[in-house]
Amino acid sequence: METLLRRTKLYDEHLALGGRMVPFAGWELPVQYETGPTVEHQAVRTAAGLFDIDHMAQIRVSGPDAEAFLNYLQTADVRRVEPMGAQYGVMTYADGGVVDDIFIYRLEDVWWVIVNASNRAKDLSWMHAHATDFEVEIADLSDETYMLALQGPKAQAILQRVTDIDLAAVPFHTCAWAKVAGVQTLIGATGYTGEYGYELFFPAEQAVHVWRTLLETGKDEGLLPCGLAARDSLRFEPALPLYGHELTAHIDPFTAGLGIFVRFDKGDFIGRDALLKIKLEGPAKRLVGFEMQETAVPREGYTVMVNGEPIGSVTTGMKSPTTGRFLGLAIVPAPYAAPGTEIAIVVRDKQKKAVVVKRPFYIPAYRR
């Protein structure tokens, strides 16, 4: 039986811009526009790109135990988050495997949790199941709230023209309420491209108006609409993990190189003992970056070999648009994770030479 795909309120806008629509996490979304993913990628690195990311879910957590509940639910310490601040975190199972990676916004009197589209139903069920000992309310705002991402070195200048607050007063990983194109909006100085930029949350009925206003405002600055392909290559170069690839129920945060987001000093949380064991003993496997030494494109699922024996698999790989290098991420046994380790990737039944290299592959100018 054919599965019906959901469409965002910008579906017709994407078609009008030449968007090529593909299935993704239960939605029909643009993978690219007429410009193509490489041009879109470079626009974000040098100017700005606008992404329709309304397929992601927004969940509100409120009540007197909201802070304690969120601290128990995921690995980061939300007590460290100031009001109108933001924090990346990871929800884990009791064995340390990942339920989902999330972003948490601390607003004046409530919290917003942003989760991956494919995990919306699962995450909501998980949250409700663990809320029984806490006085909290959990509400799915996804259908009433729209979400756009404006990313790139010129994102601030573009957004500043259509908002009523000073964006210089909204530093990285904070948020603020403002009017954007006359629409009440939560502006988060966050994003998943490696570039400085913003994620915007506003009433869903205003989606077309805000989208069109931003594209028109940024036209002379080189702003382009960007699809899923560019979004993937942009997050890949700074080695930002994607759930289902670098994070799964079988990959824990330490294996994925996200140990910095696991705070044992905050008290109990789901998966604490399992993760503490992994930290103390060291993960058996690690996520590594690698560079091909022969011209070949490594793809997800390709086998990693050492001395003719399979040792792991590629989680993401491509020709990096910014660097021009053939790069990949892979999960391998810890003894093979050191930079300089020679490996091979099986590409079309042939072993192609590669070498483990340091991550990330790209660091944006504002963080150098």
CA atoms of 92 and 271, how far apart (whole Å): 6
- Domains of the chain are 11-56+143-236 (3.30.1360.120), 57-140 (3.30.70.1400), 284-367 (2.40.30.110)
Q: Is the dihedral of CA 332, 234, 238, 341 positive or negative?
A: positive
| pLDDT of 255 over the 80 cut | yes
Q: pLDDT tens across 146-169, in order?
A: 999 999 999 999 999 999 999 999
Q: Output the pLDDT for position 2.
A: 56
Q: pLDDT tens across 266-305, in order?
A: 999 999 999 999 999 999 999 999 999 999 999 999 999 9
What is the average per-residue pLDDT within 184-211? 98
pTM: 0.96
Beta strands in 4-136 (DSSP E): 20-24, 27-32, 49-52, 57-62, 85-92, 98-106, 111-115
pLDDT band at 42 (very low <50, low <70, confident <90, very high): very high
| pLDDT of 329 over the 90 cut | yes
* Helix, strand, coil fractions of the chain, as percent rounded to 5: 25, 35, 40
What is the average per-residue pLDDT within 55-79? 98
Burial class (CB in 10 A: 0-12, 13-18, 19+), 45: buried
- What value, to the nearest 5°, has the Cα angle with vertex 255 and ends 252 and 259? 80
Other C-beta atoms closer than 10 Å to the C-beta of 73 total: 25
- Identify whether the C-beta of residue 193 lies closer than 8 Å to the C-beta of residue 44: yes
How many angstroms from the chain centroid is the CA of residue 155? 18
Q: pLDDT tens across 70-104, in order?
A: 999 999 999 999 999 999 999 999 999 999 999 99
CA atoms of 271 and 197, how far apart (whole Å): 32
CA atoms of 67 and 77, how far apart (whole Å): 9
Q: Is 216 helix (H, G, I), strand (E, B) or coil?
A: helix
